[in-house]
């Protein structure tokens, strides 16, 4: 409302919603606005009406279902409601609100216009997150994070042109953890910023060695997440890492997904343009899975497209995906971009991709992600040269 019709309209809507909420409760109950679009209702109930909260919650959902007329605009809202019962001993307002909050997130995740009662299991999920966060802090401090590398090769010749840096966590008790087990928490907590810096530092130190010993044109590709793109100091930080490692910006490619670009398009454009001006190569990762792919190619200074592995996986089965890959390649030619096909697992896929005119590929067919020493082996170097 604020963005579309101005703050006056937003304020009017809040007042209208408050009025409807008040009509859902009794005189002695409390309705409060916590901030933003969050409200709290406190209902004191005797043991006789144990589930009064559910009744009121349903009433609220029904009451908000009717459209609102605000400053000449007709609009609809939905509510997600979390319910916490304060019957337990030692109940206090903070923990009641926290429990209601946790339940509300479950209601939201279930698809809005719902109410959900807090359960102890929900608390456990949150505790696990908290554990994860403090473990991750420890991991950063104690260098438990390491970087694996996966080659990007020319299709056919299979010459290694680049390596993608993929973070791993050597957890002292859980073993080697893949990024999908901890990156969400890292993103949510902002720990992705120091984590990303560490990956970048390792990757740059490593590429310097490989460039000296193997191929002076070898490139290392590093993934940047949305949070990193929003961090204004990223450009300076990245330039500093390159200088400290004694690596030319041309040795570095960064990969961003389409998802990371939407949201703050202007900020993302500014960051990518500065990186591009430095001489860093920019790749769009998981291409084809996000929104408005084509407009991104015009907005952002893109050099490389990485076709998502789902399209490569189905390449030999149906015609639809090969059409998509064909179109991506045609677009890439039009824009003067390089294309890397991800997730190549079979010879058949490689043959098909070459036939479609794709030049580069990455996947288990060539190599799994491995520690730096594994890449040394692949490049015919002695492992002693690796850092980390
Ligand atoms: P991604 O950037 O799309 O990386 C490629 C993923 O595909 C890797 O998973 C890789 O192991 C996997 N892969 C490679 N070849 C094949 C194949 O032939 N078949 C199949 N099925 N999979 C293949 P990984 O290492 O688990 O990484 C998952 C995601 O985590 C990455 O997806 C990337 O988005 C993110 N990630 C990894 N490292 C970093 C990092 O340092 N920073 C940030 N921000 N994100 C990272
Ligand atoms: Ca990637
Ligand atoms: Ca990818």
- Predicted TM-score (pTM) above 0.85: no
Most informative mutation of 165, 179, 226 for ligand 1 (most atoms within 8 A of CB): 179
- Whether ligand 1 lies within 6 angstroms of the CB of 114 is answered as no
Task: State the Cα–Cα distance between residues 162 and 221, nearest whole angstrom.
Answer: 7
Greater confidence (101 vs 248) lies with 248
**pLDDT of amino acid 47:** 57
Task: State the Cα–Cα distance between residues 114 and 58, nearest whole angstrom.
Answer: 8
| Among 148, 276, 269, CA closest to 203 | 148
pLDDT category at 293 given cuts 50, 70, 90 is low
Atom 46 in ligand 1: which residue has the minimum CA distance? 223
pLDDT digits over 22-44, tens only?
A: 999 999 999 999 988 899 999 98
- HSE value, Cβ hemisphere, 13 Å, CA-based, for 184: 6
Q: Which residues contact 111 (CB under 8 A, 6 or more apart)?
A: none
Q: Which residues contact 184 (CB under 8 A, 6 or more apart)?
A: none
Q: In the structure encoding, which two tokens stand for residue 240, read together?
A: 């500093």
pLDDT digits over 104-132, tens only?
A: 988 887 777 899 999 988 877 776 777 88
**pLDDT of amino acid 1:** 77
| Among 297, 361, 363, CA closest to 330 | 297
Task: Report which ligand 1 atom has the smallest distance to the Cα of 306.
Answer: 3
* Residue 258 alpha carbon to ligand 2 centre in Å: 12
Task: State the Cα–Cα distance between residues 274 and 252, nearest whole angstrom.
Answer: 14
Domains and CATH numbers, the chain: 2-118 (3.30.70.270), 130-381 (3.20.20.450)
Atom 19 in ligand 1: which residue has the minimum CA distance? 343
84 three-state secondary structure: coil
Q: Which residues contact 276 (CB under 8 A, 6 or more apart)?
A: 282, 301, 303
- Whether ligand 1 lies within 6 angstroms of the CB of 211 is answered as no
């Amino acid at each position: 409302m604020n963005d579309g019709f101005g703050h006056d309209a937003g304020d009017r809507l809040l007042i209208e919603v408050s009025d409807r909420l008040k009509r859902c409760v009794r005189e002695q109950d409390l309705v409060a606005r916590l901030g933003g679009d969050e409200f709290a209702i406190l209902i004191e109930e005797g043991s006789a009406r144990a589930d009064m909260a559910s009744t009121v919650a349903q009433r609220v959902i029904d009451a908000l279902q009717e459209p609102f007329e605000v400053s000449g605009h007709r609009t609809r809202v939905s509510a997600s409601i979390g319910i916490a019962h304060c019957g337990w001993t030692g109940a206090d307002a903070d923990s009641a609100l926290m429990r209601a909050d946790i339940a509300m997130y479950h209601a939201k995740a279930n698809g809005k216009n719902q109410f959900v009662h807090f359960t102890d299991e929900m608390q456990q999920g949150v505790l696990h997150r908290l554990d994860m966060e403090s473990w991750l802090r420890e991991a950063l401090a104690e260098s438990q994070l390491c970087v694996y590398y996966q080659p990007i090769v020319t299709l056919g010749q299979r010459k290694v042109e680049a390596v993608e840096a993929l973070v791993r966590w050597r957890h002292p008790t859980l073993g080697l953890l893949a990024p999908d087990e901890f990156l969400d928490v890292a993103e949510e907590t902002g720990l992705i910023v120091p984590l990303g810096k560490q990956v970048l530092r390792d990757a740059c130190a490593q590429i310097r060695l490989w460039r000296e010993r193997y191929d002076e044109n070898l490139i290392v590709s590093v993934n940047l997440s949305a949070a990193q793109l929003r961090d204004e100091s990223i450009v300076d930080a990245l330039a500093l890492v390159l200088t400290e490692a004694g690596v030319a910006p041309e040795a570095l490619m960064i990969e961003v997904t389409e998802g990371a670009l939407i949201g703050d398009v202007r900020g993302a454009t500014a960051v990518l343009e500065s990186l591009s001006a430095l001489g860093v190569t920019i790749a769009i990762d998981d291409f084809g899975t996000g929104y408005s792919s084509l407009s991104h190619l015009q907005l952002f200074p893109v050099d490389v497209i990485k076709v998502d592995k789902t399209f490569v996986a189905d390449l030999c089965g149906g015609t639809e995906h090969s059409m998509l890959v064909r179109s991506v390649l045609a677009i890439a030619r039009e824009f003067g971009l390089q294309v890397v096909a991800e997730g190549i697992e079979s010879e058949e896929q490689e043959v098909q991709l070459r036939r479609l005119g794709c030049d580069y590929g990455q996947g288990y067919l060539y190599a799994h992600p491995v520690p730096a020493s594994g890449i040394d082996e692949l490049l015919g170097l002695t492992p002693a040269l690796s850092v980390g």
